[in-house]
Amino acid sequence: MKRMLSAVKPTGKLTLGNYIGAIRNFVKYQNDYEMIVFIANLHCITVYQEPEELKKNLKDAAALYMACGLDPEKTTMFLQTDVMEHAELGYIMACNTYLGELNRMTQFKDKMAKGESGLSAGLYTYPCLMAADILLYDADYVPVGDDQKQHVELTRDIAQRFNNRYGETFKLPEPLVQQVGKRIMMLNDPYHKMSKSENNDKGCIYLLDDLNVIRKKIMSAVTDSYGEIKVDQERQPGIYNLLEIYSALTDISKEEIAAEFKGKGYGEFKKAVADVVVQEIEKIQKRYNEIIKENIIEDVLNEGALKAHKMAFKKVKKVERKIGIDIHKRK
């Protein structure tokens, strides 16, 4: 069975974008692949997090993974720092990555271009840790949203170079980008990706938002003055985004949805989108509340970490032998 790996970093509350672009797909894939999904708490701290808030977001993320349908029987679920080999291999990967490569990463470049100050070295080198996350487990596929594709490509480059230098060690992973729902945009700004760390409360739908709030956010989504529901990302980015959300959650194509709403007003269309979103999130929240009550997160994370550690330990030892830093058999 092919192996697939992914993660979400809960630097904030998980959004509908994270659900559509990532978590929901993991749930589908867990039947056909050996799934490994972890909570990337090390990646979270590349940007300062208020500790108490971070703890809450991490716990929520674990519960939400399960609430969205990840099944611990099928998916290995764990917290990144519970498997210390991530940090260990992350450092080794950083030593095998060129500055030029990191300088080309658009995510970091965008942050620089925005003139953000106080960017950490951890944020700059995070693609190296991400490479380690993936290569530790010989993942065949990494399902990602559009924004992460470049980092998986860098992972392949690092792995390839390592293999050439030290002999076959790592499997080269393939990024798997979903066609529908790969880039959900802010509701109040359809030119920018919905991102949990943007602090744009009106533009983001959070999975744990009150259902009425979700409805309100969708009803006040930015549209345009054309007054026609068409699939035209350039001219009607707001409508396009709503079509994308509707399509992702119903598996009906955007063209079919646009045809169904031909001649109808934006208000009616938004209401239909809100119905679909609320219905989906209501199910997730119900299950989330049950999981919190059952108190099962602890056991799931511990078991997941044990399984992941076995794989990761073997891989790191192999790497360390190859590069010459391991000089004895550690018990």
Report the interface residues with ligand ATP, using CB under 6 A.
8-9, 11, 15, 17-18, 20-22, 144-145, 147-148, 181-184, 193-198
Identified catalytic residue from 9, 182, 196, 254: 196
Q: Is 111 a catalytic residue?
A: yes
Q: Is 322 a catalytic residue?
A: no
* Rounded Cα gap, residues 4 and 226, in angstroms: 43
What is the token pair recorded at 164?
Answer: 């050439």
Torsion of CA 78, 84, 89, 92, to 10 degrees: 150
- Closest to ligand ATP by CB, 248 or 316: 248
* Rounded Cα gap, residues 99 and 6, in angstroms: 25
- Closest to ligand ATP by CB, 93 or 144: 144
* Rounded Cα gap, residues 312 and 41, in angstroms: 17
Closest CB 227 distance from ligand ATP, rounded Å: 26
- Closest to ligand ATP by CB, 17 or 173: 17
Closest CB 279 distance from ligand ATP, rounded Å: 19
* Rounded Cα gap, residues 169 and 302, in angstroms: 28
CA angle 275, 58, 39 (to 5 degrees): 95
Question: Which residues, in sequence order, are bridge partners of residue 37?
Answer: 6, 77
Question: Which residues, in sequence order, are bridge partners of residue 193?
Answer: 185
- Name every residue whose Cβ is closer than 8 Å to that of residue 267 and which is 6 or more positions away in sequence: 219
Instruction: Answer whether 185's CB lies under 8 Å from 241's CB.
Output: yes
Name the 3-class secondary structure at 38: strand
- Closest to ligand ATP by CB, 39 or 159: 39
Q: Is 193 a catalytic residue?
A: yes
Closest CB 293 distance from ligand ATP, rounded Å: 27
- Closest to ligand ATP by CB, 123 or 219: 123
**Beta-carbon neighbour count of residue 233 at 10 Å?**
14
- Name every residue whose Cβ is closer than 8 Å to that of residue 47 and which is 6 or more positions away in sequence: 11, 120, 123, 197
Identified catalytic residue from 193, 254, 270, 315: 193
Outline where 83-236 has alpha helix (H).
85-94, 99-103, 106-113, 121-135, 149-166, 211-219
- Closest to ligand ATP by CB, 39 or 308: 39
> Looking at the annotation, which residues are catalytic?
111, 193, 196
